[in-house]
Amino acid sequence: MQHRSAVRTIEAFILEQERKHPEATGELTNLLYDIALGTKVVGAAIRRAGLMDILGRAGAVNIQGEEQMKLDVFANESMKSALHQAGRVCVMASEEDPEPTLLADSDGARYAVLIDPLDGSSNIDVNGAVGTIFSIYRRVSEGKPCVDDVLQTGNKQVAAGYVMYGSSVMLVYTTGSGVHGFTLDPTIGEFVLSHENLRIPDTGVYLSVNESNFYRWSRGMQLAVRAFHGEQPEAMKAKNSRYIGSLVADFHRNLIAGGIFLYPGDSKNPRGKLRLSYEANPMALIAEQAGGAATNGVDRILDIQPTELHQRTPLVIGSKKDVEVVTKTLNGATS
């Protein structure tokens, strides 16, 4: 009988998953290791951030017009080197880089990766939860890798995930066969399986949205959020408000306990704040694989064709029935 140790590391688990796909080459498996390694380096720095000269601003502004934090730059460089070292990735795009980075144009480099190296940057200096988000595609370019490799619709992702640097460090990912969570065991330095086959409840208990933008939202969006406040108790139980200001941390809570996260467009930012390719798409794949949903209010996030690398999109994501409340209310408000 094959002995299975109590400790199921991410390596062992991904290999098990791979065995279920005889056509698998092991490349994607190895790429997920590379990403896990990169996030261990980032996680170690975050854990010691107050003791290292890594807090505060880096003194530069990124393509989004946001002040880069030192940890943004550190995380970006760490993930890039982790993805570069094994030559499996042809091109990488990052929230912190204006253009995609060509990593390897050898035939062996079959994947394109998009990352948000440090999500929730505004939480860094106040020791709040932050994360790293990743999205993996098969390369589409025949000759030299190019931007087309990272401008694919979200439903073409072969894998997506995030690492949350919170009270513990957790890696949550999907390769299209369910969503699985691993907790970093600092005593052995390994991501160990802790949450197999995560499913998000159809209706959630939490509402996660930055209410300070309320008066800039459309009437339909205001109606939907007021419904979640319990304005019609006969129709819907009020939700409990929770907002950390880090997409990864807010999404993770709702994935585990059920809930809805919204970052709508508004009169100041009609396309919202979050980026389609390396924030909305990977989280949308995880949400759907866990039984939830993700929309911009009208379209399914995973069907939106990106035209620019850093394009933004309104995002409504989480428990399926709660997301439906928003789309129905928006359509009701406009019809």
Q: Could you list the residues that contact ligand FBP (CB under 6 A)?
A: 66, 95, 116, 119-122, 210, 245-247, 263, 273
Residue closer to ligand FBP, measured from CB, 78 or 175: 78
CA pair distance 179, 197, nearest whole angstrom: 5
Nearer to ligand FBP, 110 or 310 (CB): 310
Please report how close the Cβ of residue 310 comes to ligand FBP at its closest, in angstroms.
11
Q: Shortest approach of ligand FBP to residue 26 CB, angstroms?
A: 31
User: Residues 43-49: contacts with CB within 8 Å, 24+ apart?
Assistant: 43/163, 43/165, 43/169, 43/184, 45/71, 45/74, 45/75, 45/78, 46/71, 46/130, 46/165, 47/165, 49/124, 49/127
| 3-class state of residue 258 by DSSP | coil
Q: Rank residues 22 and 65 by Cβ distance to ligand FBP and give the closer one.
A: 65
CB of 109 or CB of 276, closer to ligand FBP: 276
Beta carbon of residue 241, minimum distance to ligand FBP (angstroms, whole number):
13
Nearer to ligand FBP, 75 or 302 (CB): 75
> Is 119 within 8 Å of 130 (Cβ atoms)?
yes
Taking the least distance from each CB to ligand FBP, the nearer of 128 and 178 is 128
DSSP 114-159: EEEEEE-GGGGGGT--EEEEEEEEE---SSS--GGGG---GGG-SE
**Smallest separation, CB 146 to ligand FBP (Å):** 25
Closest distance between ligand FBP and the C-beta of residue 39, in Å? 15
Taking the least distance from each CB to ligand FBP, the nearer of 67 and 202 is: 67
Instruction: Give the nearest distance from C-beta 10 to ligand FBP in angstroms.
Output: 24
Is residue 277 within 8 A of residue 150, CB to CB? The reply is: yes
Burial class (CB in 10 A: 0-12, 13-18, 19+), 64: middle
Q: Copy the structure tokens of residue 261.
A: 């996260």
Helix (H) or strand (E) holding 323, with range, is: helix 320-334
CB 206 to ligand FBP: min, Å: 14
Beta strands, E only, 166-215: 169-174, 179-185, 190-195, 206-208
CB of 164 to ligand FBP, least distance (A): 11
Contacts of residue 138, Cβ cutoff 8 Å, sequence gap at least 6: 110, 111, 112, 156, 158
| Measured distance CA(76)–CA(55) in Å, rounded | 15
Nearer to ligand FBP, 20 or 268 (CB): 268
Q: Which of 307, 266, 305, 279 has its CA nearest to residue 121?
A: 279
